[in-house]
Amino acid sequence: MKRKLHGNVTVYMGVTTGIILSLVFSLVEVVHLKSLGQEKEILSQLGAESVLADYNRPLWTDYGILAMDAGYGDSKFQKAAVENRALSYVEDNSHNSLLSLSATGVDLKAYTLLSDHDGRAFLKEAAMAELYGIPTELLQQETGMCEQMESDAANDVSMEDLLNNAQSSLDEAQSIREETSESASAGQTGATVSEPVENPILKVKEWKANGVLAQVLPSDVSISGGTLSDQRPSKRILQVGTSDVPTIRAMDRVLYGLYLRDHLQNYTHPKHHDGLAYEWEYILNGKSSDEENLRLTVEKLLGLREVQNFIAIQRIQQCQLAAEATATALVGFTGNPAIIKGVKQGILAAWAYMESVLDVRTLLSGGKVAFVKTGDDWTSDIANLGACFDVNTKAKQSEGGISYEAYLVAFTYLESEARIGQRCLDVVEAAICANPGYEHCRVDNLMVKGQFVFSYEGTPTFASLVPALRGRVGRYSFMRDWEISYYT
């Protein structure tokens, strides 16, 4: 007997199947929507990173700093060009996707330029670059040395005052000598006049009248004649970014000083960069010629070493005895302890200066000198200062001592952040522009941080298959804010 089928079962099944399919398509559309969101993340990251991946190559090659030229060969910052470049990267990669997501726009909402805040962005990136390559113990050691240099530089001992006071004591002693001589010539008995001895104070004052470079460099040494154009960043009004730069900490000051040691050329370590030969000396002094910057650096070095050596000589017994004996020989006939003491201190100051000259000669030749000298480290002799006037005479080398570059690190630490930053920009721009194809590059076009806002649209794929959603779900809109920086 043939079985009869009832049609009401087919209706129920149709309704059930329709509900199930609507649920499935709705869930698939949710997955599609979620996938579009993930695609938005990937494309936004790719677009932002691709823009900054086009970094300035000479800047990276010579100085290890990453920055993207937002001028693209022009002398003006081109915000629209940066946005179009990011958009093109996103569009090129979205075409390879199976998802229906398309980029509709890019807005460079905020950005930081390498020159912002007087070059703070440059210094921050330099400090970060140096931090990754230095052991903690070495950083602490360098920080301690810089702090000690800062303390020495702030010492209230004035070498000039000591020499002037000594000269006043000498003048007073000379007046006494003349009075004694007049008394002796008048026939008075009991008056004796000692013969004057060689005066190291006068000899050193005469020597100091020479230029400092003549005191520390032999005449056959060639000094760079390099100059820097007046059309440098520190001499013009710069374009400004729209976002902040993290503040510079005390540790950062040490780090960017070490960065300059590793990446910039100076008198003792040329690196064959274009532009100035003494880049680091320029950053410390800001003059347009290599020779002037070297001279000012030597003056700073002599001044600091003079204070350090004067402090050291107070603890060296043999130097104290020699200075007192010389002072007594010079003005002991006065019988005035104040005059003798004034002359003694002047002799010690003069002696410390001559020792400093020898130190600087050693430092400029690439050697090291003891940071805090003892009697064994002391080189000059008060009884034979004439030998020190020979520019080939140098201070004793010290294997565990301090170098010329270590002093430059300390001078960098002591200088203001703004001056260091501005002058770094001057050096960097001059070097970049010397490269073919980069003649119009400007440091205030170089972007180091950008905040991009990407806009997207997506089309529903499965929603139209759900009767309840058909015609009610339009195009999807997405926005993604993506921030990227070289120094974080």
The mean pLDDT of 108-119, rounded to a whole number, is 94
Mean pLDDT lowest for which of 152-161, 293-302, 461-470? 461-470
Cα–Cα distance measured from residue 104 to residue 382, given in angstroms and rounded to the nearest whole number: 81
Q: What is the DSSP string of 256-286?
A: HHHHHHHHS--SS-----SS-S-HHHHHHH-
Mean pLDDT lowest for which of 100-104, 267-271, 321-325? 100-104
The mean pLDDT of 18-39, rounded to a whole number, is 69
Name the average pLDDT for the chain: 86
Cα–Cα distance measured from residue 387 to residue 392, given in angstroms and rounded to the nearest whole number: 9
* Per-residue pLDDT tens digits for 119-158: 999 999 999 988 887 888 888 999 999 998 888 888 777 8
pLDDT at 165: 86
The mean pLDDT of 195-214, rounded to a whole number, is 80
Mean pLDDT lowest for which of 31-35, 164-168, 237-241, 355-359? 31-35
| Residue 112 bridge partners (DSSP) | 449
What's this model's pTM, rounded to 2 decimal places? Answer: 0.83
pLDDT at 228: 85
Q: By the 8 A CB rule, do 381 and 198 touch?
A: no
- Indicate if the pLDDT at residue 30 is higher than 90: no
Res. 14 pLDDT band, cuts 50 70 90: low
- In angstroms, the Cα distances linking 70 to 83, 266, 435 are 10, 30, 18
Residue 299, C-beta contacts closer than 8 angstroms, at least 6 positions apart: 212
Helix, strand, coil % (nearest 5) of the chain?
55, 10, 35
pLDDT at 467: 61
Tokens of 235: 């001499």
pLDDT at 319: 93
Cα–Cα distance measured from residue 432 to residue 441, given in angstroms and rounded to the nearest whole number: 7
* Per-residue pLDDT tens digits for 208-233: 888 899 999 998 899 999 888 888 99
- Indicate if the pLDDT at residue 471 is higher than 80: no
